[in-house]
Amino acid sequence: MDESDGIDGNNSPFSTMSSSDLEKVEKSTLKVHLPNGGFNIVKFGDATDVRGIIHLITSRPPVGVRAFESLYAMRLCHRNSKEEHWLHIDTTMYQVHEKYESRHPQDEWRLENSLVLVLGGLMYELRIRYFPHNLHKLYEKDKFTFYYLYDQIKCDYLKTDVNNVDPEIAVQLCCIEIRRFFKDMPIIALDKKSNFEYLEKEIGLHKFLPQSVLASMKPKTLRKSIQHHFKKFANLSEIECMFYFVDLLDSVKKCNQETFKCALGSGWSIPVELVVGPETGISYLTDKSSTQPTILANFRQVQSIQTLINETEPTKAVLQMKIAGASEVLTITCPNLTIAESMADLIDGYCRIANDTETSFWNAHPPKYRRSSSRSKSGSASPNGSKTTEDYAEIVDDEGDYSTPATKDYELIRSRLELGEIIGEGQFGDVHKGRYRCKDNQMAAVAVKTCKIESEQSMGEKFLEEA
């Protein structure tokens, strides 16, 4: 990470910065939104990958390394168009900007709070996308991630349109959350008018009920219903409230699975709703009346994933998976490439978890990192005219291309190289500042990319391919 740092914008001590500190903050920073309304500000370099940003945020002191870090993902949303893109963990920030920045005009860029440069319509979100099989195990081994997931589930529920939720269940969920919020509230506390008015006016019922439920129920009816149901949950502990809330919500809204409208096969295809989750694996429903999805494969059976543009219908895309034991490739036709890539990222994440590996199963081949010809060697201009940090991902020789190594000897003499401080972190290892003594004994500033010793053999091969 390019001397990466995180700043929590949710009443954290990190959110207080002196004017001298503000002057030191570089403009190549990213505002990452959290489910509870807070945010982190992260400094990054072009070669920083999404995996590195996730690790930086989730492992900040005093939290430490997360046992379930593999559950996290980053989502990029465009607020105006409602576009959503899940960013694969191996994607570098350079590739993110190249792929998504071009879709939106430069005048959407703005400097927010004189601290972080963001794309006006774009919002980066850190979310848990890959749900665990067992929430109790998650709570035991990684309480930080458990509370993060609970906040996400609760906030998603309050923000979404839940017209299909029974009002009585909505009120019960409200009472459970009130109990968790007020840990020491007596069982009859809400029977007192002044206490309920305090809850209603000072705290706000919108923190416990979706807006659609508040709009559909008369205030007096709602009050009596809350007073009645609260007594059922008044003796629950905080953690019991959280598990009860998730279980009750699960009966009306499956938070641990995602669905996609697509078609099995290509050409003559069958319209289905693909269901992906830790319990269902990769399954499908043929119509809305179906309640039990048909399983296509579990995540341990997936050997590779590929996304392609549909040759017969260029507006559509195809997701292909090689499944162990299957004679043919599993082909799924998607409405567009964005959906195909979202499905590929979701399945790939579950496959990595199921196989306990960091190596991707998705055979995506994004362009290797190279400095754009429009960027100067001393730095790159950001849309507001300021310069970002110098590219440290790799050195590009103007005389030739690395695709033809036989034309020149690129191997350096190790004894001439001096390693300095770590300035970045990526998928394969650390990036150091360094100095190299040339043949004329002149010292040249370089960046040195290292490979982790404990990396798998395949990771080492990918490292050499990228170099």
Instruction: Please give the annotated binding residues for ATP, written as ranges.
Output: 449
- Half-sphere exposure of residue 397, counting CA atoms within 13 Å on the CB side? 12
How far, in Å, CA of 44 to CA of 53, rounded?
Answer: 8
Q: How many residues does the chain have?
A: 467
Long-range contacts of 359-363 (CB under 8 A, 24+ apart): 359/456, 359/458, 359/459, 360/88, 360/89, 360/90, 361/302, 361/303, 361/304, 361/305, 362/88, 362/304, 362/305, 362/306, 362/307, 363/304, 363/305, 363/306
DSSP string, 230-264: HHHHTT--HHHHHHHHHHHHHTT--TT-EEEEEEE
Annotated binding site: 449
Question: Contact at 8 Å (CB) between 284 and 273?
Answer: yes
Largest CA distance in the chain: 86
Strands 39-43 and 6-8: antiparallel
